[in-house]
Structure 1
Amino acid sequence: MDDYLNTQMSQKHSYNWQLKILILTWEYPPNVVGGLSRHVSGLAVQLAQLGHEVHVITAGNGGLTAYEVVNGVHVHRVIPLNNQDNDFLSWIAGLNLTMSFKGVKIAEDIKFDIVHAHDWLVGTSAVTLKEELSIPLLTTIHATEHSRNNGIHTDMQQFIHNKEKKLIMESDQIIVCSTYMREELLTNFQLSEKKLEIVPNGIEPSTGEVNSNEIYPFIKRRKYVFSVGRMVKEKGFETIIEAAQLARENRRDIYFVIAGKGPMLERYRKMVTERQLDYFIVFIGYVSDEQRDALLVNCEIAVFPSLYEPFGIVALEAMILGIPTIVSDTGGLKGIIMDKQTGLLMNPGDAKSLLSNIDFLSQNSDKAKEIGEKGRQIVKSLYGWKRVASQTVKIMEETLLNKRVNLNENAR
């Protein structure tokens, strides 16, 4: 490395170099589809609090403000060119076109240091802006199509897989949220280990407590086991339905409350009715963050039975509240939990394993309380957004440095 670059890096660290960061994400609060929205928001807000200038380009819907500053973050919302198209891939293509146009327009007044993309959904605009603005591209891969479907089986899955591959190859650096995701990318994509960094998802404590009975009076102060997530197959909610059926057959008073929206919600509700499980399980649909926290605070146990989970932010949301938490022994979840210390591990897709863990916690109240407290402490110490954002900034700085080194070497 030449003396000039050494001097620049020294000055940067000495004077807390402020980055101008352009973040691309297809969802951002209040538009919340899944966990990605909360992740990007938590990161963006903390980056701004660290003194960096953060601009987020995301999808709008006509009802949201096109531009506003929220918690120090400049949020730009764009409408896809073909916003009324019912074909999701066409809609995403139109979104990427408008995101690219908006990014170039904003860059007329702001010289960005780096573009940070989140998943393949914004991949086309990310690569375009990297080239148009001549800045490095950092990408966070939150999940992959291959692991969501246990392989690539359809033309659409192949299309998405190819989009993921294109984005990964064009990125200067990749962030994943867990060791599991790191191994997944190394297995399914040809890339150097040096190109991969692990930064966990972040979480902040709930700011208030609300009695869930006030919001959902049908609970009637019953003890309940709570779960929340997007209503898709990989979240494993059928395992909870099977557990509820076993509980009924064995005349055990276990009540499951499950929150979240998604394409399989009505199917799950129909399964509950057909199996006459309404006394044992309820799917309550969409909940706000405040409602989710109220349900978590007042539950006896939290359960996340995913068949596939790259990280598991919902588990952190329960653990940081001190709730004894059961998760599947799979993916990123098993990296969060130390079995019978900070939580419990169940066999994926195994209703009997889930019930066994529920019994352990119900029958050992002191141990359950100890597990909940240890879980809260580990989440608070390892997964705070300030720590996550600081790690991300370090990667951004190293990415910028490597880009400059390469440009300097190519110029010789």
Structure 2
Amino acid sequence: MLSWEYPPAVVGGLGRHVHALSEAMAAAGHEVTVISRHAPGAPADEIVNGVRVIRVPDDPPLFEFNPETLLAWTMAFNHAVTRAALAVCDEIQPEVVHAHDWLVAHAAATLKHHLGVPLVATMHATEAGRHQGWLPGDLNRSIHSVEWWLTYEARRVLACSEYMRWQITQLFELPPAKVDTVPNGVHPQDWKVSAAAVRTVRRTYGSTLDAPLLLFSGRLVYEKGLQDILAALPRLRRRHPGLRLVVAGDGPYGDELRAQARRLRLGKSVQWLGFVPGRQLASLAAAADCALVPSIYEPFGMVALEAAAAGATLVLSDTGGLAELAKNGVSALQVPAGSPAAIADAVSRLLRDEVLSRRLSRQARAVATRDYAWPRIAEQVIETYEQAVIEERELAAALRRTGRAPTPLRIVVPDGNLLADGTD
């Protein structure tokens, strides 16, 4: 399994997904090796909860990880991953290579061809989706071309929601039968929080124990919609004196968001915590009166699922994977994406109706812990692996019979809005 994130090097939901999935697969008796990037102080090669984790240092030249150096950094990282993976494959013969997103595409394709095993790719998001269907610059078009190529090279592709499955088949010209939908998951036991921990959070972050406490958790990027929560806060503060918002996360849009909070004179009503590890995040979610996930673009919505497992009451955008979570029984109030007024009204409704809030919390928690437990998700991924192995063998047999080579690769990177009307 190849991933650019793995604990303790975690940036967003992808790293948590790979960590939980690999350990659930190992617990089910499968042999799993994860190759990821090195993190300061972490062992280069260790076995944790049945998963062998190999962390590779950056190849020179050394780049700071930012948009200007992203492609160069990725190429250097893929060289390092490929070398480490080939060394491991001298010891074991993997049956499947599993790539998580485009940042490991080159290493994954190399291993697929060198080892003669099927490649499975999970697309956690797409570049076009992150920009509302557009590829505005050269970097965006370059990333899109790598995503296209990764799904071409893959024997099977995994999407985290039906929304993402549709998007992937449209963007990358894939036959729908090649793409399987397997959602993200949660470990219910990791999101159980004691009453004492809840009281501690409310004393620490609330203006008073009884004042409303809201939570946003996620990367600080435009598509996550935190700017709309901030825009809703002035009217929420007027309606609910003492209300506080806790922001758990970091990211490249952070400076702009903090500047917006200053312009709105939000002061101490917003507390910026930066990256928050899992146990602390669970306590924040359990203590909050409401967890807000107002994304403009959201392939799945792992933070919503985790908050539900902790017992939070949810306000979700009616878009993408978040709308699908609600459709599948994760109860929440839904609002149009990009609407501060709707966010303010939904939060006020929950704060004024404790019966409704508790009912939504109970229902969401029950569905999250029953239908999205990681062992169940791991079983579905294994089924995709098994199908990929069967298809790879059938293709090899057909090639031996006919002698025909695969169709040559052709990549076309279009301009314009790729998802404008759902048909492009």
Question: Letter of the aligned partner of 2:31 in structure 1?
Answer: E
Structure 1 unmatched ranges of 5 or more: 1-22
Structure 2 contact 315–346 (Cα < 8 Å) conserved = yes
Greater relative contact order (Cα 8 A, min sep 6): structure 1 or 2?
Answer: 2
Q: Which residue of 1 aligns with 2:306?
A: 317
Q: Where do 1:9-408 residues align within 5 Å? A: 23-82=1-60, 84-86=62-64, 87-150=69-132, 151-205=134-188, 206-209=191-194, 210-211=197-198, 213=200, 217-219=204-206, 220-221=208-209, 222-248=211-237, 252-338=241-327, 342-408=331-397
Whole-Å separation in 1 of the counterparts to 2:316 and 2:385: 32
Whole-Å separation in 2 of the counterparts to 1:299 and 1:251: 15
Tell me the number of residue pairs that the alignment of Structure 1 and Structure 2 aligns.
390
Q: Which residue of 2 aligns with 1:17?
A: none
Structure 1 contact 44–54 (Cα < 8 Å) conserved = yes
Structure 2 contact 216–246 (Cα < 8 Å) conserved = yes
Whole-Å separation in 2 of the counterparts to 1:61 and 1:141: 24
In structure 2, relative to structure 1, the CA distance for the partners of 1:271 and 1:216 (3 Å cut) is farther
Q: Give TM-score scaled by structure 1 length.
A: 0.91
Identity %: 33
In structure 2, relative to structure 1, the CA distance for the partners of 1:338 and 1:377 (3 Å cut) is same
Q: What are the Cα deviations for residues 287-318 of structure 1, in whole angstroms up to 9, with x where unaligned?
A: 12121111111111111011110000000011
Deviation at 1:382, TM superposition (A): 1.4
Deviation at 1:273, TM superposition (A): 2.3
Structure 2 unmatched ranges of 5 or more: 402-424
Of 282-291 and 334-343, deviating more is 334-343
Whole-Å separation in 2 of the counterparts to 1:391 and 1:73: 19
Whole-Å separation in 1 of the counterparts to 2:330 and 2:102: 36
In structure 2, relative to structure 1, the CA distance for the partners of 1:360 and 1:218 (3 Å cut) is closer
Q: Tell me the C-alpha RMSD between the 2 structures.
A: 1.8
Question: Letter of the aligned partner of 2:24 in structure 1?
Answer: Q
Q: Give TM-score scaled by structure 2 length.
A: 0.88
Name the SS for the 1:332 alignment partner: helix
In structure 2, relative to structure 1, the CA distance for the partners of 1:251 and 1:25 (3 Å cut) is closer
Whole-Å separation in 2 of the counterparts to 1:215 and 1:366: 20
